[in-house]
Chains A and B, each alone.
Chain A
Amino acid sequence: DARVTQTPRHKVTEMGQEVTMRCQPILGHNTVFWYRQTMMQGLELLAYFRNRAPLDDSGMPKDRFSAEMPDATLATLKIQPSEPRDSAVYFCASGLLGLSGNTIYFGEGSWLTVV
């Protein structure tokens, strides 16, 4: 059963530390999204890639966040330095997009707590 895989599932870190989250999209999917979810803001789009090329990262704080897709099987989201306000669930999602009606599938999320 194909699924999006994210690591780590849970991370507690101290303010100022670097955090890297990883995502393995479903094989064959051409689009990968990074979302952040908090109780107050709901699901916010941070960045997304099509065929590994970044298409939009306007939702991402550029000074501390970076997203890359070094190959088709790996997407990364890095926070450096981390701050307590970054505490949230970070979801990766992938889909085979370009045709109307196709949808996206989420990983289980990386639960980040910055203290």
Chain B
Amino acid sequence: RKEVEQDPGPFNVPEGATVAFNCTYSNSASQSFFWYRQDCRKEPKLLMSVYSSGNEDGRFTAQLNRASQYISLLIRDSKLSDSATYLCVVSSTGNQFYFGTGTSLTVIP
């Protein structure tokens, strides 16, 4: 079983839509959680950390459900510039970082 699993999509949504991605992880001892964004032919970049209480950064909201071992990312009022691949990342001991295969998002005009 993979450490981190994501729906690869693709998600094609119109501008202004709200879209949500989920990700599940297998190790209940996981401690740190992140969402990264990767644009085509670029490196992954940190989008936001995910905290137990949930956290928001502008149009982006991340949530963690430890009981069900899943992480979510909600994007409100989608912009064309949000088109990218979103990677779920889980770290168990601060050493190993496990990446999901990514969810592809295309925002359509």
Structural contact, B43 and A100, CB atoms closer than 8 A: no
Give the residue of B43, B49, B95, B96 whose beta carbon is less than 8 angstroms from that of A107. Answer: B43
Chain B 79-108, CB within 8 Å of chain A: the 1/0 string?
000000001010100111111111000000
Chain A 89-107, CB within 8 Å of chain B: the 1/0 string?
0010100011111111111
**Distance, CA A105 to CA B46, complexed state (A):** 7
Structural contact, A48 and B99, CB atoms closer than 8 A: no
Of chain B, the residue at the smallest CB distance from A92 is B43
Structural contact, B101 and A42, CB atoms closer than 8 A: yes
**Distance, CA A1 to CA B42, complexed state (A):** 18
Structural contact, B95 and A108, CB atoms closer than 8 A: no
Q: Residues of A contacting B94 with CB < 8 Å?
A: 97-100, 102
- A sample of 12 cross-chain residue pairs with beta-carbon separation below 8 angstroms, ordered by A number, consists of A31-B95, A42-B99, A48-B96, A55-B95, A56-B96, A91-B44, A98-B94, A100-B94, A102-B32, A103-B89, A106-B45, A107-B43
Q: Which residues of B contact A (CB under 8 A)?
A: 31-32, 34, 42-46, 49, 87, 89, 91, 94-102
Q: Which residues of A contact B (CB under 8 A)?
A: 31, 33, 35, 41-43, 45, 48, 50, 55-56, 91, 93, 97-109
